[in-house]
Amino acid sequence: MTVTVTRKPGGITQLFNTETGRVTYKCKADSAYMLIEAFGGIVQFNQKDAIATVTGHITSLESCDVLKKGHPNYQSALNAIISAHKEFAQKVSEHYQNEIKELENKLADI
């Protein structure tokens, strides 16, 4: 069995089982939001270790809610997602910049 693990914005980790096609989203933060098309809206992870799972056309939620367009909290949840993506992109960018600097320093030492 092969599982691909990917960090996502907002403290969410995606686990993809290549054999079954099952995708599991697990919240590492106390709460988070993620737009997941399979659920038709924004999944609100209500606590640490909350899980959203997609296997084919079957979806399941543990300690999560789905906010659809028109829900009173939809706009604020979408703003939180945008902020998380911006913060994540900045961290990733900084990580790669640091990695490049380390490689350049190794090259300079040669």
Q: Could you report the per-residue pLDDT of 69-81, keeping only the tens digit for each?
A: 999 999 999 999 9
State in Å, rounded, how far the first CA of the chain is from the last one. 42
Task: Record the pTM.
Answer: 0.84
For 56, half-sphere exposure in the C-beta direction (CA atoms, 13 angstrom radius) is: 4
Q: How far apart are alpha carbons 4 and 17 in whole angstroms?
A: 7
**Contact (CB, 8 A) for 18 and 5:** no
Count the neighbouring beta carbons within 10 Å of the beta carbon of residue 66. 15
Of the pLDDT bands very low, low, confident and very high (cuts 50, 70, 90), residue 87 is very high
Tell me: the pLDDT tens digits for 39-49?
999 999 999 99
